[in-house]
Structure 1
Amino acid sequence: MVWLIRAGAYLFSGLTVWQFIQGVGTPEAVTMSHHLALDQPHGMVFGVCAGFSAYTGLDVTLIRLAWALSVLYHGAGIALYILAFLIMPVA
């Protein structure tokens, strides 16, 4: 259970750092520009990776590769994928 909390914290901090690298800057601009949501029309399974891709601006293939590699690490990717599907709203 601890690894799930740590993985979620790493994911959240990574997305926060990514927003500042892109130059968004303020939290108001982050919430007004775009939202993290499922992208089911462009997704393969539930649209989680496509949603992260639309949110971060990264290629969806890189996001899917990261999820696949996290599955190989003690199955953490499966739990995180299901958790992200349950938490993320539909666009």
Structure 2
Amino acid sequence: MIWLIRAGAYLFSGLTIWQFIQGAGAPETVGIHKHLALDQSHGMILGVCAGFSSYTGLDVTLIRLAWALSVLYRGAGIALYILAFLIMPVS
């Protein structure tokens, strides 16, 4: 159970750092609000990876590769995928 909390904390901190690097607080992008949501129209299974892809701007293939690699690490990707599906709203 503790590994799930740690993985969620790593994911959250990684997304926070990614937003900081992308300059989400810059004055020219303050009016643009992106929301993390499922993208079932472009998704393969449930739309979680497509939602992360549209939120971060990364290619969906890279996101899917990261999820697949996290599945190989003690099955953490499966638990995180289901958790993300349950938490993320439908767009």
1:45-79 per-residue CA deviation (whole Å, 9 max, x = no partner) reads 00000000000000000000000000000000000
Pairs within 5 Å for 1:12-23: 12-23=12-23
**Percent identity for Structure 1 against Structure 2:** 83
Secondary structure of the structure 1 residue equivalent to 2:15: helix
- Aligned match of 2:59: 59
Give unmatched runs, 5+ long, in structure 1: none
TM-score under structure 1 length normalisation: 0.92
- Aligned match of 1:70: 70
Number of positions where the alignment pairs a residue of Structure 1 with one of Structure 2? 88
Structure 1 distance, partners of 2:12, 2:25, is 16
Secondary structure of the structure 1 residue equivalent to 2:36: coil
TM-score under structure 2 length normalisation: 0.92
1:33-52 per-residue CA deviation (whole Å, 9 max, x = no partner) reads 11000000000000000000
1:7-29 per-residue CA deviation (whole Å, 9 max, x = no partner) reads 00000000011011111127xx4
- Aligned match of 1:35: 35
Give unmatched runs, 5+ long, in structure 2: none
One-letter code of the match for 1:71? V
Which 4+ runs in 1 deviate beyond 2 A? none
